[in-house]
Amino acid sequence: MAKPNLADLIERAERTRASELRNAATGETELYLSIENTIEERLRAFNKMMRAKMMAAEAAPSLRRKQKS
């Protein structure tokens, strides 16, 4: 693999910096973080609901046995 020369490294750093400045100016980074947080919140709510359903399903057989007795 060829070693990157200094000019390529400087150009890459400048592009990265320009991208960071653009993201800061447009709020793009904050938008991505907001979307990511929303997805994480929905995933937590989904997992909580599934745990509750699993616990209810595990409890249901014992409730049915008690009703038959």
The better pLDDT of the pair 63, 40 is held by 40
The answer to whether residue 53 scores a pLDDT higher than 60 is yes
Q: pLDDT tens-digit profile of 11-42?
A: 888 888 888 887 777 777 777 778 888 999 99
Please state the pTM of the whole predicted model.
0.48
Give the integer Cα–Cα distance in Å for 63 and 55.
Answer: 12
First-to-last C-alpha distance (Å) of the chain: 76
Q: Residue 51: pLDDT band by 50, 70, 90 thresholds?
A: very high
